[in-house]
Structure 1
Amino acid sequence: MIRRALLTGAAALFALPALAAHGLFDVRDFGARGDGLTLDTAAINTAIAAASKAGGGTVLLPAGHYLSFSIRLLDKITLLLAEGCVLEAADPVLNKGGYDLAEADLPEQFQDFGITQFHCSLIYADGASDVSIIGRGMIFGKGLVREDSGARWHGVSGWIAPRSADPKEIAMQGKGIRAIGLKNCRNVLVRDVTILQGGHFACHLLGCTNATIDNITVDTNRDGIDIDCCRDVRVTNCRVNAPHDDGIVVKASYALGRKVTCENISITNCHTSGFETGSVLDGSYRLSDYRSVDDMGVLGRIKLGTESNGGFRNIQISDCSCENTRGILVGVVDGGVLEDVVVSNIILRNPVNHPLFVRQAARLRAPAGTTVGACRRVRFDNIQVSGADGRYPCGVQGIPDAPVMDVSFSDVHVLSSGGGTAEDAARTPKEKRESSLEVSFMGTLPAYGFYGRNARGLSLRDCTFDVEKPDARPAIVLDDVKGGRISGFAANTVVQKNGSETTLLP
């Protein structure tokens, strides 16, 4: 599965613009063996240091099988994984070594271990500019950690003990947790590479500006692509299979020790899925039997807002498809303002839960004094959904003191299994103010098409909600929804509760 054809023709290498600008540094000239047995860490990092000393350049890993611990990129370095190259993350036990030690420089931590720590990656850069990871080679994260270690966020404002005081985090030192990690970098390019089993995060950007992730393939056992506290990032033409966690996720965590808005992010022409790990690369596309903690099944989706301390602005998700995953989920739970988000031209096939959902909550995993955030101006347009689970319609869910505001759904068409009962129609879903972004706690909802609660300025236009089996629930249920408009909707089963004031138009 990890073998590739040898590079055909040196001309393909020298056609790359990066090679024309600077010298080429072949890791074999610095002692790399590429035999899959010898640790090539020192040789690769020595080649990078030589290129840096020369003012920048391209470090080439030709066809071969390279075993390595942490590779540290510097300014103006392009790491080129040639076709036929496999870069394997070494196992610290089997290879008697370890990855660079994780950072321990934050007095407070409001996220799980690893969201802050980047030096414990297979390939990483910290504070670098003009860095690239390109080529048709493969990164195989065989020796990376992907299971939860038990090392969790401290979550206590004022916690000032050094990170090394946590024995669970001490146990993580020397282990690798991600394939690619770029932190506080400018002018970033990740293109064409394939990542198999990427650890906790296959490709993770934190605090980066002007970054492009293009045409990469990820087939992994945890997160695929994470964009956190970044600005001006483009994710294009990517294929991400991530049954055990999110496929492509945008975050605004507190991992930099301050609140940073994640803004001007576009995700276009990408495909995510939740098939068995490795089965996209080998072409078998096997269905995964993975069941997450809420027992809904695989993840693999596109998501915005898992961590929301800094908030989000100007986010575009367009011309994408998701197959056998959870639906697209957008919202804030840790304070911060989410605004001006557009999700358009999307195909969802066989989503295992709510196809489209906007969530506002008040978990507030954040510094003391953080207040409830806001979620406003979100638009879903031209979306086709098939094979949806009838228990979980589209919807919005705010909280009484922070309703979701100005959300619109237009030209959204959903075909679900249906089959809801009169008992389902009579349900009042649980409200959980201090929840994570996930909405599975609400269970089966009392509408088969759309459920809205605690919202202002909700608009549904030219939407259809069809079912394969008869359903005793109304198509739409609105609970404490004011200033709403529904137009171009053929069904007459719209239920409004608790002071809802929504205008129904032809």
Structure 2
Amino acid sequence: MRINIFLQLPQWQITREQPPVTDYCPQYPGRRRFLSQSLTGLAGAATLTSLPACTRTAPAASGFADDAWSKAEQIRAQTVVPQFPAKVFDLRDFGAKADGKTDNTAIFAAAIKACHGAGGGQVLVPAGNYLSGPIHLLSNVNLHLAEGARILFSTDSKAYLPAVFTRWEGMELMGYSPLIYAYGQTNIAITGKGTLDGQANRTTWWPWKGGAWKGGTDWSVPGFPTQDAARDKLMQDMEQGVPVAERLYAEGANLRPPFIQPYACKNVLIEGVTITNAPFWLINPVLCENVTVDSVSCISHGPNSDGCDPESCKNVVIKNCLFDTGDDCIAIKSGRNADGRRLNTPTENIVISHCKMREGHGGVVIGSEISGGVRNVFVEQCEMSSPHLDRGIRIKTNSVRGGVIENFFIRDITIGEVTTAIVIDFDYEEGDAGKFTPTVRNIDIRNLLCNNAKKVFQVRGYKRSPIQNLQLTNCHFKQVDDIGMLEQVENFSATNVTIKGVEFKV
């Protein structure tokens, strides 16, 4: 089904009538032709383009969303939030200098080691400006930033050596250490009212992104290297099965490090802090279990400044956060292509609530590094709005990425201003160029209010793999330029859905 409506009317109406049961698509035996459409208005001019398309004859799904939200409460209950002994290890006692110039990397390492060795507690960062290279957390350590504390991370790439085992855009490699990193640790936290400042800008880190991608911002700067060659080579290594230990992509590769990346950790808490000026993704837990991100402000407008990207994780709660970013606010991932399929670890059991999204490519997004699949995602009580917010709810994949995405539940969402409200894109980046057909099913959206959208839908599956069971209930789109596209959707339903004040019926 495809609908392209260009509205120039003060009042308009869409009506649809169910065709006779015998009205089948001759091109696709067994599929009924999609519902007929008409457009009427009181004044002005309007055009409607409806391309011949089909929907399968299976009856509308019923019951898949019933009692689904009880699962969200179970996820909250079973997501372990780490607790720490009452011992405090003040950074100043280890010789830290808060002048913003002295390198405190060794001081942080010493304080964390002492805290860990004593059975755990809080490493306190008092008010002041602390320059540091990478910080590596250990089990039972809470890195706590007091109000007024600011950790300024070095922009010297050599500071992030030696290379560590990490993921970059869903691919495993030996690369620069993330700015804050932990591998295989249990009970770790970053808390407090202070600020983590990556100091990235157009003269540090960001130019490595290189030229514009699909008409986006050109981040290249004359004389600065870019990531392009290394990114292409890493993709080749991944597809050819080169062992990760031999994928050496640190100094000279120009692959910007993630800001915070706990890897294969359990019981992770990030709470209260502000994260800004990130080289790359801001919060990127990988292969973790029990992750809580609470009351964090993610403010970074550089290239690939995703706010929070849980990747191949289980039991994640994201709540009360602010996202004002240069890329997706929240992007749920599970590994890219061959690496994602090799590890075969979905991201599952995610609850997102009471968050605010401002600028970004998408508000709540699934993909695009999605080859391991995603299931059981719940989003509620969130607000999204910005003239620079490209999409509200988005799923992005293709037949190179593949993956099974299922059980995505959204309710009580307010979107102020957005380019496109609901996007499910099977043609992201490479398009239909692979042999790993994605599956997307069971999406339930309820109580969504969108005040101003240039387009309501950009939804298109494949003929061989239609989007299954997309349900909208009590959703209202006030100001709309274009309804957009709904194509290759099996079992779509709309109950009490209005577009520009008029009921949208199917």
The change in CA–CA distance for 1:114 and 1:90 in structure 2 (over 3 A counts) is farther
Cα distance in 1, alignment partners of residues 480 and 136 from structure 2: 50
- Could you report, residue by residue, the CA deviation over 1:163-184 in whole angstroms, capped at 9, with x for unpaired residues? 7677x754147x8623211111
Distance 1:263 1:180 in 2: 20
Contact (CA 8 Å) 1:186, 1:209: kept in 2 or not?
A: yes
Structure 2 residue aligned with 1:83: 147
Using a 3 Å threshold, how does the CA distance of structure 1 residues 102 and 410 change in structure 2: closer, same or farther?
farther
**SS in structure 1 at match of 2:407:** strand
Question: 2 CA distance for matches of 1:351 and 1:219?
Answer: 19
Work out whether 1:177 is the aligned partner of 2:240.
no
User: Which residue in 2 is equivalent to 1:443?
Assistant: none
The residue matched to 1:223 in structure 2 has which SS?
coil
> 1:218 Cα deviation (Å)?
1.0
Helix, strand or coil at the partner of 1:228: coil
Determine whether 1:317 maps to 2:379.
Answer: yes
Q: Does structure 1 conserve the Cα–Cα contact (< 8 Å) formed by 2:120 and 2:141? A: yes
Structure 2: how far apart are the matches of 1:56 and 1:100?
A: 26
Quick one: which amino acid aligns to residue 402 of structure 1? S
Q: Residue 102 of structure 1: which of 125, 139, 163 is its match?
A: 163
Question: Gapped runs of 5+ residues in structure 2?
Answer: 1-81, 210-226
**Are 1:339 and 2:403 matched, yes or no?**
no
1:14-413 matches, cutoff 5 A? 21-92=85-156, 97-103=158-164, 112=169, 120-143=177-200, 145-146=205-206, 147-148=208-209, 149-150=227-228, 151-152=230-231, 153-155=234-236, 157-160=239-242, 170-172=251-253, 177-221=257-301, 222-242=305-325, 244-254=326-336, 258-274=343-359, 299-324=361-386, 325-327=389-391, 328-333=393-398, 334-352=401-419, 354-361=420-427, 371-389=436-454, 392-413=455-476
Shift of 1:200: 0.5
CA contact (8 A) 2:421 2:457 kept: yes
Tell me the distance in 2 between the aligned counterparts of 1:240 and 1:41.
28
Instruction: State which of 368, 391, 414 in structure 1 corresponds to 2:477.
Output: 414
Q: Which runs of 5+ in 1 are unaligned?
A: 1-16, 275-297, 419-447, 468-488, 493-503
Kindly tell me: are residues 197 and 117 of structure 1, through their superposed partners in 2, closer, same or farther at Cα, counting changes over 3 Å? farther
The 1:457/1:184 distance shift into structure 2, 3 A limit, reads same
Matches of 2:133 and 2:171 in 1, distance apart? 17
Q: Give the fraction of aligned pairs with identical amino acids, expressed as a percent.
A: 26
Matches within 5 A, 1:479-490: 490=503
Partner Cα distance (2:274, 2:150) in 1: 9
The CA deviation string for residues 314-372 of structure 1, in whole angstroms up to 9 with x for no partner, is 101111111111221025432221111101111112112x2012233597899x99631
> How big is the shift at 1:103?
3.4
Which range is displaced more, 322-331 or 356-365?
Answer: 356-365
Superposition deviation, residue 395 in structure 1: 4.3
Q: Tell me the alpha carbon deviations over residues 186-216 of structure 1, each in whole angstroms, 9 at most, x when there is no partner.
A: 0000000011112211111111101100000
Residue among 481, 484, 497 paired with 1:463: 497
Distance 1:119 1:267, change over 3 A: farther
Structure 2: how far apart are the matches of 1:230 and 1:237? Answer: 20
Letter aligned with residue 307 of structure 2: G
Describe the superposition over 1:287-328 as per-residue Cα deviations: whole angstroms up to 9, x where unpaired.
Answer: xxxxxxxxxxx5252211211111111101111111111221
Which of the pair has the greater relative contact order for Cα pairs under 8 Å at 6+ separation? Answer: 2
> 1:265-292: per-residue Cα shift (whole Å, max 9, x none)?
0111101111xxxxxxxxxxxxxxxxxx
Change over 3 Å in CA distance of 1:84–1:114 after alignment to 2: farther
Residues 95-125 of structure 1: CA distance to partner in whole angstroms, max 9, x if unpaired? xx511333368xxx9x648776676211111
Match of 1:449 among 478, 483, 495: 483
Distance 1:455 1:369, change over 3 A: closer
CA distance in 1, matches of 2:278, 2:120: 27
Distance in 2 separating the partners of 1:165 and 1:178:
17
For residues 241 and 172 of structure 2, the distance between their equivalents in structure 1, rounded to whole angstroms, comes to 18
Q: In the TM superposition, what is the alpha-carbon distance from 1:135 to its structure 2 partner?
A: 0.5
Equivalent position SS for 2:285 = strand
Distance 1:172 1:118, change over 3 A: closer
User: Secondary structure of the equivalent of 2:488?
Assistant: strand
**2:443–2:470: 8 Å Cα contact kept in structure 1?**
yes
- Indicate if the aligned counterparts of 2:170 and 2:334 stay in contact, CA closer than 8 A: no
Distance, in Å, in 2 between the alignment partners of 1:309 and 1:162 is 18
| 1:206 match: secondary structure | coil
Q: TM-score, normalised by structure 2?
A: 0.71
Give distance in 1, aligned partners of 2:109 and 2:438.
44
The alpha-carbon deviation at position 409 of structure 1 amounts to: 1.1
Q: Deviations over 1:12-49 (max 9, x none)?
A: xxxxx956x24211111111111111000001100111
- Larger deviation, residues 219-228 vs 249-258: 249-258
- 1:83 aligned partner, one-letter code: E
Specify whether residues 22 and 81 from structure 1 end up closer, same or farther in structure 2 by C-alpha distance, changes over 3 A only.
same
Q: How many positions carry a matched residue from both structures?
A: 390
